[in-house]
Amino acid sequence: MLRRIEPEVGAWYEHTDLQTLFEVVFIDDEGENIGIQYFDGEIEELELDAFIRMPLCKVDQPEDWSGPYEMDNDDIFENDIGDFPPGNHTPALSDEYESAIMHILDE
């Protein structure tokens, strides 16, 4: 017997026939329509009855957050800031500042 699942905002589900992941992003005030966002970013609005008839299982939020952003591994690990030019930056705590802090703590 197929178990029917009620939608919950913020919960992730897998459509077991299509093997697609999606999150419920809203349920309207009347509770008749729900909005879902698929892992690839596509958004769809469904009637509650259609959602309840879908073959679903509740799943954990995917660990790979990049799905809707169309990113490849180079984008994920690329440094957007770039390197500091040599000699044009100072350490976070200069020796003088660190010495002043140590003096205060010693007192």
When comparing pLDDT for 105 and 64, which is higher? 64
Q: Please compute the mean of the pLDDT values over residues 67-85 and round it to a whole number.
A: 54
Report the CATH number of the 1-77 domain.
2.30.30
Distance CA 70, CA 76 (A): 10
What is the average pLDDT across 83-103? 56
List pLDDT tens digits, range 3-53.
678 899 999 999 999 999 999 999 998 889 999 999 888 999 999 999 999
Give the model's pLDDT for residue 1.
Answer: 44
Q: What is the pLDDT of residue 40?
A: 87
SS3 sequence of the chain: CCCCCCCCCCCEEEECCCCEEEEEEEECCCCCEEEEEECCCCEEEEEHHHHHHCCEEEECCCCCCCHHHCCCHHHHHCCCCCCCCCCCCCCCCCHHHHHHHHHHHHC
